[in-house]
Amino acid sequence: MASTAPIHLFKRFSSTATTTTITTKLTPSKSHLHAPIPPNLFPSGYLLTGLHIGVKKSTPSPQKPDLAIILSTSPNPTSAAACFTRNAFRAAPVTVSEDVLVQTGGRARAVVVNSGCANAVTGKKGLDDAWSMVKATDALLPPPSKATPPYTHKPTGETLVMSTGVIGQPLPIDLILAGIASQSPSLPTRTFNTDFFAWERAAKAFMTTDTFPKLRARQFIINGREYKIAGIDKGAGMIHPNMRAAATNFPSTSARQLHATLLGCVMTDAPVSPRSLQSALTYAVDRSFNSISVDGDMSTNDTIIALANGAGSPVQARIQEIDEEADQETYLEFRNALTEFMQELAKLVVRDGEGATKFVTVTVKGAPSYKDAHAIASRISTSALVKTALYGEDANWGRILAATGSVPLSSPSSGPPITSQPTVSIDPTRVSVTFIPADGSPSFPVLMNGEPENVDEVRAKHILQLEDIELEVDLGLGKEQATYWTCDFSYEYVRINGDYRS
């Protein structure tokens, strides 16, 4: 349970100033969410580093990393996929990374990330700077293997770029390029490695207002062969992603689905074709990063990248890549493993929400479509009234209903509306709301089929004092459901964002 501390609010009436003291909960420590990872869980064929080059404001010693570089050194082809923000003011690195994927047909062998400056709303100079980062990182790559299919035309680059930090400021590009160049294979200062500490340094270089580096790794089995997957992400504020698939012309992603800044990079040594990696990533993002919210604000830089380098397979002249059209069953195994792993990464962002004291799971079930369930779960998760009630440990379930009822439902068909089949509406007499305690005690219904329950306020308070809370809303209209992960709103969130640039 979070501890408490007083804060002072100053009120002015005419010429008289008064001080009001209120008690606020301190943000729980997140240190337990980061621990060393055994080296045998990290995927093969990747080199990483994290450097401090001075993009971030000066910090006390030791200086914090603000530049991460990830290289795929596999002799097998490396597939790449991405989902990008839908924000109209999308940042230069988003535009450049999508261009790279289009030019290469979903192949890339490096990722470069800077924190401290978003390179967003920076005009032509911002685009030029992002391309400079691509070219400088490309120079660190080994020559392509003979196993890599040749490009139909030489692409502008093989590096994807991500940036995070303050919007509207130009990159200190000279510092960044010097930092990248310092990792040249010919220099003794090169710090690339494959161990936990290299992955950790890279994860720390992603961070802005994050309180811990977000790094996870695990093994998974497909067709009897063991592969590994690792992921780094960052985010604590300006979190309500709505990302779409990269604009590569793969048939499986041509129909766009639902989809401080959210950044993430997932790396596996499984062999996956570019089109199937993009398809799997789009599906997984919709059920992970597109299903989280801290404050309801979409960033200009939201990006999730996936790399699959096939290093976990025997070296052959041409390896058999997992492909949804060639072997759908194997593809679905990979897609499901990726989705489960990305949900774990996405939850770390919510747990580190700026000023958050609660981790909240919102499940909407009994919906006529997944789209409806997802939209309602999103609305509940972004309601300031719901989130402040959770912070105050007040079981004000009327706010949950108000948020639920504000979302118009779509047609029960996932396709175009059918004129003979009217749009379904929420029926208040079918709706139920339940609090599910994280301590394993019985569920706590507050509304059943539109009728309020006799609420035990003492038990309700006990449930809401837990750090983990689950809210379940059953619409009673269908069989589809969706889950969102969110957090509460606290005084600390206002403090952090009130002086973010100062």
Is 27 a residue of the active site? no
Q: How far apart are CA 236 and CA 208, in angstroms?
A: 8
**Single-letter amino acid, residue 8:** H
Q: What angle, 0 to 180 degrees and rounded to 10, lies between the N-to-C axes of helices 328-351 and 274-286?
A: 40
Q: What is the DSSP string of 304-364?
A: EEEEE--TTS---SS---B-TTT-HHHHHHHHHHHHHHHHHHHHHHHHT-TT---EEEEEE
Q: How far apart are CA 113 and CA 133, in angstroms?
A: 9
Look at the chain and count its residues: 502
> C-alpha distances in angstroms, 439 versus 26, 442, 457, 467, 468?
22, 9, 17, 10, 9
Q: How far apart are CA 71 and CA 73, in angstroms?
A: 6
Q: Which of 104, 248, 261, 483 is catalytic?
A: 261
Residue where the block lists tokens 């983990």: 468
Instruction: Report which DSSP code applies to 252.
Output: G
What's the longest Cα–Cα distance across the chain? 82
**Closest by alpha carbon to 180, among 67, 44, 65, 18?**
67
**Closest by alpha carbon to 264, among 228, 296, 288?**
288
Residue where the block lists tokens 């909240």: 360
CA of residue 497 relative to chain centroid, distance: 20
Which segments are annotated as binding site for substrate? Answer: 208, 234, 261, 354, 497, 502
- Long-range (24+ apart) CB contacts under 8 A made by 149-156 are 149/77, 149/107, 151/104, 151/105, 151/107, 152/105, 153/103, 155/100, 155/103, 155/104, 156/99, 156/100, 156/103, 156/131
Both tokens assigned to 496: 């952090």
Residue where the block lists tokens 């837990």: 466
- Per 3-state DSSP, the chain is made up of helix, strand and coil in percentages (nearest 5) of 30, 25, 45
> C-alpha distances in angstroms, 30 versus 60, 212, 389?
21, 7, 22
Exposure string of 48-68, with b = 16+ CB inside 10 Å and e = fewer, is bbbbbbbbbeeeeeeebbbbb
Name 362's Cβ contacts closer than 8 Å, sequence gap at least 6: 377, 380, 381, 470, 471, 473, 483, 484, 485, 486
Name 482's Cβ contacts closer than 8 Å, sequence gap at least 6: 291, 363, 364, 367, 370, 373, 374, 376, 377
Catalytic residues: 261
